[in-house]
Structure 1
Amino acid sequence: MEIAVVDYKGGNVQSVLFALERLGAQATLTADPEVLRRADKVLFPGEGEASSAMQALRESGLDLVLPTLTQPFLGICLGMQLLGTHSDENDTPMLGLLPFKVQRFVPDAAHKVPHMGWNNLQALRGPLLAGLTEADHVYFVHSYYAAVGPYTIAQAAHPGPFSAAVQHENFYGVQFHTEKSGPVGTRILANFLAL
């Protein structure tokens, strides 16, 4: 199986590569459109800020390549957010692959921003989350979120519900860090590789 990890100079790439290695999978870090097109699976990790990430994608032409991919595709953290249409973070137009807008959490006395730490998943559905239950926890670090919609395949709350995982056609996304979520994150990556 050929696995490609999108290289747009975003953060968090090495930990994703290590997580795949722990599953016995070798991945290629690449910005080459042909390598991305022929891969069996594509992962799109990210951390950082939306407008800088979109600028890097535009400069490399990946903003035009990624929407054309037809194989299973997994966006992680910022990589999930970039699948949406728009982010309130620096008023950023995004890839537009899923019909959600990304907005900032509003802090209150009990809920700080960023939302950081372990949180459980709710309302799980679909093959990406097979074998998981609402007792399972994953690791989040984010200040922005996508609202719950028909694309949502798992929710979490901070304090209200938000999309913890999304799907549209071959495009999947998780707001949490699979590679930092222990056995649960490993299970999700294994499920993705099995799609």
Structure 2
Amino acid sequence: MIGIINYGAGNIFSLTAALERQNIAYGMVNNEAELEPYSHIIIPGVGHAGTAMHKLEQTGMVKAIKALQKPVLGICVGMQLLTAHSEEGDAKLLNIVPLETKLFDKNLGIKIPHMGWNTVDFKNNLLFENVPSGTQFYFVHSYFIEYNPIFDIASVNYGNKFSAAIQKDNFFGVQFHPEKSGEAGERLLKNFSNLRS
């Protein structure tokens, strides 16, 4: 059963609707004590990374989240929260994955935010099991996580190459929105729910 971190910084409805379509049981996690019953944890997020981190700190769950041994998935801003620092609000984040979240360079001639479907190039990873190579996922973001081959499990090109998905131990992050990415996104959520710690 998946616990969704409910800290006021996520588009929860789209995510819960996608989980329901896959018959994946879920519940809301509002405090540290509520983390325990769930086998998997999702950190959703839309908007500003600095604000999201502040809201997460207000829940008192930061230390407990960093100590989790069960599979954890950060989505969009939830993925960015896993990194060390974001240029958005010059914010210190969870520092679970020692990477930087950076603003797209408008001098590359790209529209910001990066919004819409983009082809994701992924490595052999259980998160992408039975997802065809060259699959497109749906993105909405102005900040990206620097590409690093140690933690990167999927990449995408938009102006420059950056991480579409990362993993460090039991912590996973996806920059795109699987809950808005149709069949492939729902397959990824199902794969996440099947991961074993």
Structure 1 residues 129 and 34: CA distance shift in structure 2, 3 A: same
| Displacement after TM superposition at 1:128 (Å) | 0.3
Q: Tell whether 2:86 aligns with 1:96.
A: no
Show the counterpart of 1:136. 135
Partners of 2:159 and 2:142 lie apart in 1 by: 13
With structure 1 as the length reference, what TM-score do the two structures score? 0.96
2:31·2:59 contact (CA, 8 Å) conserved in 1?
no
- Quick one: distance in 2 between partners of 1:110 and 1:144? 15
* Closer/same/farther in 2, CA of residues 73 and 184 from structure 1, 3 Å limit: same
Identity of aligned residues (%): 38
Match of 2:179 in 1: 179
Distance in 1 (alpha carbons) for counterparts of 2:45 and 2:52: 8
Show the counterpart of 2:147.
148
SS at match of 1:155: strand
When the two structures are superposed, what TM-score results if normalisation uses the length of structure 2?
A: 0.95
Runs of 4+ in 1 over 6 A off after TM superposition: none
C-alpha distance in structure 2 between counterparts of 1:166 and 1:72, whole Å? 13
Structure-1 residue corresponding to 2:61: 62
Q: Distance in 1 between matches of 2:122 and 2:26?
A: 31
CA contact (8 A) 1:45 1:76 kept: yes
Structural RMSD (CA): 1.2
Residue 32 of structure 1 deviates from its aligned partner by 2.4
Aligned-pair distance for 1:64?
Answer: 1.6
Unaligned residue ranges in structure 2 (runs of 5+):
none
Instruction: Render the CA deviation track for 1:139-192: whole Å, top value 9, x for unaligned.
Output: 000000111111000000112110000000000000000000001101100110
- The more displaced of 118-127 and 181-190 is 118-127
2:32 is matched with 33
Q: Which residue of 2 aligns with 1:189?
A: 189
Which residue of structure 2 lines up, in the alignment, with residue 23 of structure 1? 22
Is contact 1:54–1:63 with CA below 8 Å preserved after alignment? no
Output aligned runs, 1:3-14, within 5 Å.
3-14=2-13
Contact 2:101 2:145 in 1 (8 A): yes
User: Whole-Å Cα distance in 2 between the matches of residues 24 and 106 of structure 1?
Assistant: 40
